Amino acid sequence: RRSYSVSSAFDFAPALFPLSASGAGYTAIGTPGTPAFDTTGGSLEKNKSLTFLNGLSLIVGLIIGSGIFSSPASVNTNAGSPGAALIVWAIAGMLAWTGAASYAELGGAIPLNGGPQVYLSKIYGEWAGFLFTWCAVMVLKPGSAAIIAIIFGEYMVRAFVGADAMETSVWINKIVALGGLILVTALNCVSTNLGRRSTDMFMFLKFIALLGVTVTGIVVAITGLSYSGPASDDWKTIGWFEGTKTDPSNWAVALYAGLWAYDGWDNTNYVTGEFINPQRDLPRTIHTALSLVVLSYLMANVAYFFVLPVATINSSNTVAVAFGRFVYGPVGALVLALVVCGSCFGSLNATTFTSGRLVYAAGKEGYLPEFFGRLGLSKNTAIRLPLRGSRASRFTKFIADDAGFFYTPIWAMLLNASLTAVYVVIGDFSTLTTFYGVAGYTFYFFTVLGLIILRVKEPNLERPYKCWITTPVIFCCVSLFLLSRAVFAQPFQTLIVVAFIIAGVPLYWWRVGSRGKNGRQQSMDWKFWKRWGRN
């Protein structure tokens, strides 16, 4: 077990928020020129490599997954009319955005890997950070990855074997899903660069796809040219608000469906410590990403409405494929199915990247056995292929890190992949999504509430980025509304979530309580806090 006796001159409690009255002693972590990597045991935070663009493709690549291609039906049917559906998409986008902006403030103030794990510890005490980690590592991250992997499998099978095979055997889907999972895990184990570059690539693909859908929609609406003839509902006569539902529970369900499509906005926070300049780039990344995503989702939805009859949208859980078939015929359906595959694959890749970092942070913290917080397979000599001198080809350099190959949190990735595989195999889709929604929003809520608490408790904490106070307040109110609906709609599943969170308490005593007097949280250590002008 890791020992936590970092010799420190100062007391733990005041060290919690050592405030820089001056602010001058505050240097951006990871100014270019920090040693590229650490050879002894190592830490990802020292191997800073993420730029603004990497962050952008990471978060956009993660957010745009399955949702925009498959959720429109449930948003639509629950909102009742195209206009109301668009409003739901806009509200969901704004909600995700307020959450993300709040996280940007926290991440700027506390620029460490692990995200909420660190914020919650700082704000409520380490138990809260631990419980988050417990849920995120065991269920939230692998659960959401499993959902994406399953959807990936479905579309893959749909594209290559046909929709019939998809209905007859879920096992084919699951096997394909596992294949995708193994592939992304391998990519991310090989090098940080490889994981990152594939994410970048898929992000471009997704944007092109969404742009393609939008442009096609407009062209078809105007010219009436398509494989199946003109768009069947004349878009000029769509009753945009006909049939809008008024029951709040319908809206809540619609909102949940929309939120799944926007989910993942918190993920850059898990890797903040790896940003070269987190204080500047994290907020920039988040705002750019969310504005791009909200805009492209709204446009894609408008395109669906322009082209497909509302009834078709409502009855299909694969709107994108229906869209492709309508406009370009069978080839279009195939192409769009492949696009959705690619989109899910990219999302799975990005979520694997961040999950690895989360598990890794937990290992470093001593929440998990030590080897999960390791880079490479073995301790001091992380297994990595040397990469020096001119012998390394440009290609090698392209896919390897400065530190060579396999200098990644391999054990952490493996844990995440194994749990994901378990959920893919045994997971029931609707249980997974409910659990994910309830537990996920519980932690989003408490983290954003924590931002408000932190403003009161530590008004002088250096915040390179500060959002309007209305931002977290709106987020807290809406997520509370969503949570309360879930509690009433599915009391039994909510109870399971609560029980699961509470099950983390004894583990907390075991992993953290037994650290002893000198035990302290790694993320609270001097290396971090001295940047606030201490030491």
Using the contact rule CB under 6 A, the part of the chain among 203-211, 261-269, 448-456, 521-529 near ligand ARG is 261-269
Question: Per CB under 6 A, does 349 bind ligand ARG?
Answer: no
Q: Which is nearer to ligand ARG, 356 or 376 (CB)?
A: 356
Interface residue with ligand ARG among 79, 148, 231, 289 (CB under 6 A) is 148
Position closest to ligand ARG via CB: 65
- CA distances in angstroms from 257 to 75, 202, 391, listed in the order given: 6, 23, 51
Question: At its nearest, how many Å lie between ligand ARG and the CB of residue 345?
Answer: 11
The distance of closest approach from Cβ of residue 473 to ligand ARG in the complex, given in angstroms and rounded to an integer, is 24
Examine residue 261 and tell whether it contacts ligand ARG (CB under 6 A): yes
Secondary structure of 234-293 as H, E, C letters: CHHHCCCCCCCCCCHHHHHHHHHHHHHHHCCCCHHHHHHHHECCHHHHHHHHHHHHHHHH
Task: State in angstroms the smallest separation of the CB of 440 from ligand ARG.
Answer: 8
Q: Which stretch binds ligand ARG (CB under 6 A): 47-55, 262-270, 490-498, 518-526?
A: 262-270
Exactly one of 54, 77, 113, 144 binds ligand ARG (CB under 6 A); that residue is 144
To ligand ARG, the closest distance from the beta carbon of 216 in angstroms equals 21
63 binds ligand ARG (CB under 6 A): yes
Task: Identify the residue among 74, 98, 268, 347 touching ligand ARG (CB under 6 A).
Answer: 347
For the CA atoms of 433, 351, 93, 474, what is the dihedral angle to 10 degrees? Answer: 80
Query: Taking the chain, what is the end-to-end CA distance rounded to the nearest angstrom?
Result: 27
Nearer to ligand ARG, 79 or 403 (CB): 79
| Rg value, the chain, Cα | 23
Taking the C-alpha atoms of residue 99 and residue 480, their distance in angstroms, rounded to an integer, is 13
**Piece of the chain touching ligand ARG by CB under 6 A; list 189-197, 203-211, 258-266, 489-497:** 258-266
**What three-state secondary structure class fits 404?**
strand
* Using rule CB under 6 A, residue 65 touches ligand ARG: yes
- Residue 154 found at the interface with ligand ARG (CB under 6 A): no
Q: How far is the CB of 493 from ligand ARG (least distance, A)?
A: 19
Cα–Cα distances in Å, from 303 out to 48, 315, 323, 425, 441? 40, 17, 9, 35, 30
CB-CB contact of 55 with 203 (8 Å): no
Distance, CA of 283 to CA of 52 (rounded, Å):
10
- Chain-centroid distance of CA 463 in Å reads 23
Rounded CA separation 110/321 (Å): 43
Which residue in 66, 133, 416, 420 binds ligand ARG (CB under 6 A)? 66
Q: Does residue 263 belong to the site contacting ligand ARG (CB under 6 A)? A: yes
Element (H, E) at 20: none
Shortest separation between residue 67's beta carbon and ligand ARG, angstroms: 3
CA-to-CA distance for 185 and 51, rounded, in angstroms?
Answer: 22
Count of residues of this chain found to bind ligand ARG when the rule CB under 6 A is applied: 14
CB closer to ligand ARG, 93 vs 264: 264
Q: Which of 180, 264, 409, 472 binds ligand ARG (CB under 6 A)?
A: 264
Least distance in angstroms from the C-beta of 350 to ligand ARG: 8
Assess contact for 483 and 497: CB atoms under 8 A.
no
User: Is 67 a residue that touches ligand ARG (CB under 6 A)?
Assistant: yes
| CA count, 13 A, side-chain hemisphere, 272 | 30
Q: Is 61 in the site for ligand ARG (CB under 6 A)?
A: no
Which residue from 47, 192, 349, 351 is in contact with ligand ARG, where contact means CB under 6 A? Answer: 351
Closer to ligand ARG by CB, 139 or 190: give it: 139
Q: Of 218, 239, 292, 299, which Cα lies nearest the Cα of 82?
A: 239
CB of 221 to ligand ARG, least distance (A): 25
| 3-state SS track over 64-117 | CCCHHHHCHHHHHHHHCCHHHHHHHHHHHHHHHHHHHHHHHHHHHHCCCCCCHH
Please identify, using beta-carbon distances, which residue of 269 and 521 lies nearer to ligand ARG.
269
Nearer to ligand ARG, 341 or 524 (CB): 341
- What is the contact mask toward ligand ARG in residues 275 to 314, using x (rule: CB under 6 A)? ----------------------------------------
How many alpha carbons fall within 13 Å on the CB side of residue 152? 28
* Alpha-carbon gap, residue 278 to 54, rounded angstroms: 12
Query: According to the binding rule CB under 6 A, does residue 352 interact with ligand ARG?
Result: no
Contacting ligand ARG within 173-232 (CB under 6 A): none
Interface positions with ligand ARG (CB under 6 A): 62-63, 65-67, 144, 148, 260-261, 263-264, 267, 347, 351
